[in-house]
Structure 1
Amino acid sequence: MATSEAVSAPPAVKASIDPQKPAQQQQIDPYNVGGEVDETGAIKAIDYDRLIQDFGVQPLTPDHLSRFEKVTGKPAHRLMRRKLFFSHRDFDKILDAYEEHGTFMLYTGRGPSSGSMHLGHTVPFLFTKELQEIFDVPLVIMLTDDEKYLYTRNKNDGHQKPGAAPEDFLNFAHENIKDILALGFDMKKTFVYTDYEFMGGHFYRNTSEFESLVTMNQASGAFGFNGSTNIGLIAYGAKQCVAAFLSSYPELFGLPDYRAPDYKAEGKRRHKSLASIPTLIPCAIDQEPYFRILRDRCERMTDPHPKTSLILSKFLTALQGPGGKMSASDPNSAIFMSDTPKQIKDKINKHAFSGGRESLEEHRKLGGNPDVDVAYTYLSYFLEDDEELEGLAEGYRKGEILTGEMKKRCIAELQKFVADFQARRKEVTDETMRAYMTPRKLEFAGNLNPTRPRQAPVAAGANGDAAAVGSADGGSAEAEGEKSAAREDGRGTKGERKAAKLAEKKAQKLAERPKEEA
C-alpha cells in the first residue's frame, strides 16, 4: 500500500474561503454531504474518524480482512485493502453466517438523479460485484426513482419543475440500470428493479408493517425532516429498509408472491423461511441512517429478521477536493461515465486539486503530498497494482514525480476505465435490461461446505400443508434436507426430531386402543 493512512480529501483549500459563509459542522446524512466549514469560510475534509463515533459504526480492521480471506480463500478487494471501505456493522457476523449456513443476500442501490452515472457512483457497484463473485450469492439492486422525485420536489418547495416529473426519474433509473449492468453483473444471480415499477406483493406488505414501526420523531431525527417535509419523503425510508429483507422477494428464491395478475393462494402468507437469511449491504456511509433504523426494528416484524450487516465506504471526492463528493448536479466536480477522453483529460488538468508545491523548485526539494492529491486519490480507487500505486506515492513525496505526471497517469487510467465501460454499455439493450428486471428464481451456490447448512425454504400450500420448493442453488428440497440431516451429534434436524416425536406419540396411542377399534 502507498500509505498506512486512509486516502482522503485535503484538510482545507484556500480557494474555498468564503467570508460570507458562517462556520458550520460537517453534515453527513442521506440528503446532505459536506465537510466542516471553519470561521474563515474554509471547507475541511470529511472527518471519517468522527463519523465512526457519531454513527456508532465500527472500523474495518486488518483482522476483518484476515477473516475475510480465511473464509473466502480470496484476497481482500483493493477498496478494502486501501481503507476506502473503512467501517462496518456486523461484517464479522455475515462472514460467520456464510461459513456456517452457506449463503446470504447482497443488497445495494442507486438514487437516479441524472441520465449518466459518474465515477463515484460506480465504486459501491464495483465492490458489490466483486463480493458477489467471491461469495456466489444473490444480489438485489434497488433504483429509488420515487425517492429522487419526492426529494427534488421537496427541495423545490413543492413545485414540480420541467424535467423533474415521476416519468423523468423513471427514465433516469432505466439509463442508470444500463450503466450498472455494463459493469458486468451475472444475470443468473442478480435482480434489478425500480420502486415505481416493482412495488406490490410481499414487498409492500413488509413496507406497510415497517412504516407502522417508525414514528415521525424518529424519522425527523434520522433524516433531518421538519414540518415542511412532504409526507411521501417521510414515509419513503420504510421502502429502502425492507428492500434489505429476502422475504420481500419470494420469487427470487422459488417461492410464490401475491400480486396481480398471478394470484396464488399459497402466496398470501409471507414466507417465514426467508426471514432467517441475513443480508449484507455495501454502500456509502451517508446511507447508514436508513439501516440504523432498520437494525433497531427488524426483529419486531411479524417474521423477525436478523440485523442487517453493512460495509461502508468513503465518498469519491470531488475534483476540487475538500469536504464533499462528486455531484451529478455539478459537471465540473465529477468524471461522468459518458465523458469523452478529451473531457476526462480537461477536467483532471483544470479542476483536480493538487498535493504538489507552489513551484517546481520547491516540489523537487520538499516533495508533494499524495494523500491530498485528487489525481492520486482517484488512482487509489481504480488502479489495481499495489506496487505501482506505492511507487507513485513514494516518488511524489520525494519530488521525483511532478503533479503533471501524476495527473497524466490518472488521466490514462480513467480514460481506459471509462472507454471499456462505454464499449460494454453499448451492448446493454432494453431487452437485456428487462431480463435483469424480471422476477425469477435466481441461481447461486454460496458456500458449498457450510458447517451447519440450512434446510431449503418451504412454501405453505393452498391447504395449509408445507410444500417443498427448490433450494437456492437450483437443487431439490429433498437433497437440501439430506445435507441438513448430517449433524455431528446424530440428532437430525429440528424438523426431523419433531416429526419423529409426533410419529412416536401416534404409535403409542394406536397401541393403547382396543384391537377392534384399531
Structure 2
Amino acid sequence: MSYPIAEEVVEKTIDEVEDKVTPWEVIGHSDTGIDYDKLIRRFGSSKISPDLIARIESIIKKPVHHFIRRGIFFSHRDLDFILTAYEQKKPFFLYTGRGPSSEAMHLGHLIPFIMTKWLQDAFDVPLVIQMTDDEKFLWKDITIEEANKYAYENAKDIIACGFDLTKTFIFSDFDYMGQCPNFYRNICRIQKCVTFNQVKGIFGFTESDSIGKIAFPAIEAAPSLSSSFPSIFGEKLQQEYPCLIPCAIDQDPYFRMARDVAPRLNFPKPVLIHSTFFPALQGSKSKMSASDSNSSIFLTDSPKDIKTKINKYAFSGGKESIEEHRAKGGDCAVDVSFQYLRFFMDDDERLEQIRQDYSSGKLLTGELKKILIEVLQTLVSQHQERRKEVTMDLVQQYMTPRQLHFRY
C-alpha cells in the first residue's frame, strides 16, 4: 500500500527547513553551508550589487577589497546612504566588535577587522571597537575577571591588524560603562523602546534566560549612536553622525532592533555590510569553536601546527582516488582549502587559475593544501610579529577615551 500524501508532506517539510542563523548559533542544511540568497530574503537586507561596487570604486578612486569583489561581504542595509554622506563631505564613523571568550583568536575572527581596516583607510574615518566582555560573561562559563582579561588580550590581536591610533577607540563594556554616563543613557533609551515580546521574537529568548541576556542587545546597539562617545564627538553634539557596521550576518538581529528603535529616538539608522561565515576546517556544516583547537587555525599556531591541521582536518572536495580526481576534478564549493584561499589570497588571477586547475583535476588535494599552508603560515607569522610589538601601554592608548581624527 502506498501513501502518496504522507510522502508529499515529508518532502515539503524537508524542503522548507530553514538555516538557523542567530548571534549564538549557526546551522546550515546543505553541503556548502548557509543559503545566503534565502537569508537575504528572510532578513530583508539587500545584495551588494555590481552597480553598488562600481559606485564605491568611483568614490574612493581605487578597487574595492577582494572580500567585496568575491562576495564574502555580500549583503548590506542602506550602504547607499553612507556613500552619499561621504560624497557630500558629511562625517560618519565605523563600529565593529569582538566577543572575547578566550585568549586566542582564530582566523575567522580576523574577517570583520580586515574589512574594517580597509574601510578606515579607504574613507579616512574614525572607528570604535566594542569588546563585549559582559556578553561573554553572561553566555559562557567564565568569570567577569576572565572575560575582562580576554578583552585586553584580544585587543592586542586587533591592534596588530594595523588600525590607526589617531582614528581608533577600543573599549571594554565592563570598563567603559563606568567611564561614560552617555553610553549608559543611550542603552536605557534603547531598552525603553523594546518590549520583552519583541526581544523574544528577534533573538529567540525564553523565560529560562537570565535578565542579563535579555537586556544585553541594547548594549550592543548603543555604540551605533555617536552620542555614546562624547570624548570622540564632543559633549554638545549638534546632531548624531551616521554609523557603518561591518559584521558577520549573524550579528544582524542586534541592528535590526537598533534600526527599528532609531527613528523613535531621532537617531540615524545604523548602516550595515554583512559577511558570509568563515568555515570550520571540517567543512561548512561544522562550527568553529574557540574551545576546539582543531576547528580552525588560531593566531597562536606555529607553522608546524598550521601544516598539521590543514593536512589532517581540512575538509576536501577531491575525489576518492587520484585517478578519479584527475578524471572528474574537485569541488571548490565544499573544499575548505580553496574556501580559505578565497579569504586570504588577494591575487584574483592566481586564485582563478587554482580554481580551474582543481576543478579540472589538474591540481590534486595535497597540492592545494600545500598552497594554503604556505599562505597561512606567512599570514599568521606576520601577525604574530606585529602582535609582539603591542605592549599593554599601547593597548591603554587605544582604550583611552579621546578625540579622534576626522576627515571632515
What interval of TM-score do these two structures reach, taking the shorter chain for normalisation?
over 0.9
Which residue does 1:28 correspond to in 2? 21
Report which stretch shifted further, 195-204 or 364-373: 364-373
Q: Pairwise mapping of residues 203-282 of structure 1 onto structure 2 (< 5 A)?
A: 203-253=183-233, 255-256=234-235, 271-275=236-240, 277-282=241-246
Which residue does 1:187 correspond to in 2? 165
Relative to total residues, which structure has the larger helix share, 1 or 2? 2
- Cα 1:228–1:207 change in 2 (3 A) is same
Q: Aligned-pair distance for 1:126?
A: 0.4
Which residue does 2:300 correspond to in 1? 338
Q: Distance in 2 between matches of 1:44 and 1:376?
A: 13
Q: Pairwise mapping of residues 125-204 of structure 1 onto structure 2 (< 5 A)?
A: 125-152=113-140, 161=141, 164-199=142-177, 200-204=180-184
Is the CA contact 2:91–2:406 (under 8 Å) kept in the aligned structure 1? no
Is the CA contact 1:31–1:223 (under 8 Å) kept in the aligned structure 2? no
1:44-78 CA distance string (max 9 Å, x none): 62111111111111111111100100111121100
Residue number among 57, 69, 73 corresponding to 2:57 in the alignment: 69
- C-alpha RMSD of the superposition: 1.4
Q: Distance in 2 between matches of 1:210 and 1:181?
A: 30
Q: Aligned-pair distance for 1:325?
A: 4.1
Q: Distance in 1 between matches of 2:238 and 2:371?
A: 51
1:223-273 CA distance string (max 9 Å, x none): 1100011001100111111111111101112x23xxxxxxxxxxxxxx452
1:172-223 CA distance string (max 9 Å, x none): 1110000100111000000000000001311111111111001101111111
Is the CA contact 2:297–2:309 (under 8 Å) kept in the aligned structure 1? yes
Which residue does 1:157 correspond to in 2? none
1:337-384 CA distance string (max 9 Å, x none): 001111111110011011111110011111112222100110110111
| Secondary structure of residue in 2 paired with 1:36 | coil
Q: Distance in 1 between matches of 2:226 and 2:272?
A: 15
Matching of residue 393 in structure 1 with residue 393 in structure 2: no
Q: Distance in 2 between matches of 1:77 and 1:299?
A: 32
Q: Distance in 1 between matches of 2:182 and 2:357?
A: 56
| Secondary structure of residue in 1 paired with 2:193 | coil
1:54 corresponds to which letter in structure 2?
R
| Secondary structure of residue in 2 paired with 1:192 | strand
Is the CA contact 1:33–1:324 (under 8 Å) kept in the aligned structure 2? no
Q: How many residues align?
A: 391
| Secondary structure of residue in 2 paired with 1:332 | coil
Q: Aligned-pair distance for 1:24?
A: 6.2
Matching of residue 403 in structure 1 with residue 365 in structure 2: yes
Q: Distance in 2 between matches of 1:83 and 1:325?
A: 21
Q: Distance in 2 between matches of 1:365 and 1:185?
A: 47
Structure 1 length normalisation: TM-score?
A: 0.74
What 5-or-longer segments of structure 1 have no aligned partner? 1-22, 38-42, 153-160, 257-270, 447-518
- Cα 1:104–1:324 change in 2 (3 A) is farther
2:89 corresponds to which letter in structure 1?
H
Q: Distance in 2 between matches of 1:100 and 1:335?
A: 42
1:337 corresponds to which letter in structure 2?
L
Is the CA contact 1:315–1:325 (under 8 Å) kept in the aligned structure 2? no
Residue number among 379, 382, 387 corresponding to 1:420 in the alignment: 382
Runs of 4+ in 1 over 4 A off after TM superposition: none
